[in-house]
């Protein structure tokens, strides 16, 4: 049911976006460029709007967004429910799953951080 709702939402978004691109190309270009600023996509001088702008609201765009949103359904954590068993990569490059690190009934503690 969740996948169907996501399919409907994303498909409607793509149809509306594509229609607006046809009817109002300059306004949509400004809108997409504004979105590119937020993601810093347009900071690369070799990567112009003509390279990526027209791909918005295409069939490939629809497929990609659906794939990402459907994958995220599997990764959601909810209070009181089992933790998602997401894939992780060890420092040695081995791919395994998060719950592979569980030992008996001991709690598994995840520590996230970054260094620059």
- pLDDT surpasses 70 at 45: yes
Q: For the whole model, what pTM was predicted?
A: 0.56
What mean pLDDT, rounded, does the chain reach? 84
Query: For every residue of 20-67, which 3-state class applies, written as one string?
Result: HHHHCHHHHHHHHHHHHHHCCHHHCCCCCHHHHHHHCCCHHHHHHHHH
Mean pLDDT over 61-76 rounds to 84
Confidence at 8, pLDDT banded by 50, 70, 90: very high
Residue 89 has what DSSP assignment? E
- pLDDT surpasses 70 at 75: no
Structure-block tokens of residue 55: 């791909």
Give me the pLDDT at residue 16, please.
94
């Amino acid at each position: 049911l969740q996948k169907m709702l996501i399919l409907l939402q994303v498909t409607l978004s793509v149809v509306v976006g594509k229609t607006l691109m046809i009817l109002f190309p300059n306004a949509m270009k400004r809108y997409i460029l504004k979105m590119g600023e937020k993601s810093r996509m347009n900071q690369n001088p070799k990567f112009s709007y003509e390279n990526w702008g027209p791909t918005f609201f295409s069939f490939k765009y629809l497929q990609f967004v659906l794939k990402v949103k459907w994958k995220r359904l599997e990764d959601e954590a909810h209070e009181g429910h089992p933790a998602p068993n997401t894939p992780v990569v060890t420092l040695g490059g081995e791919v395994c799953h998060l719950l592979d690190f569980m030992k008996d009934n001991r709690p598994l503690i995840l520590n996230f951080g970054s260094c620059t």
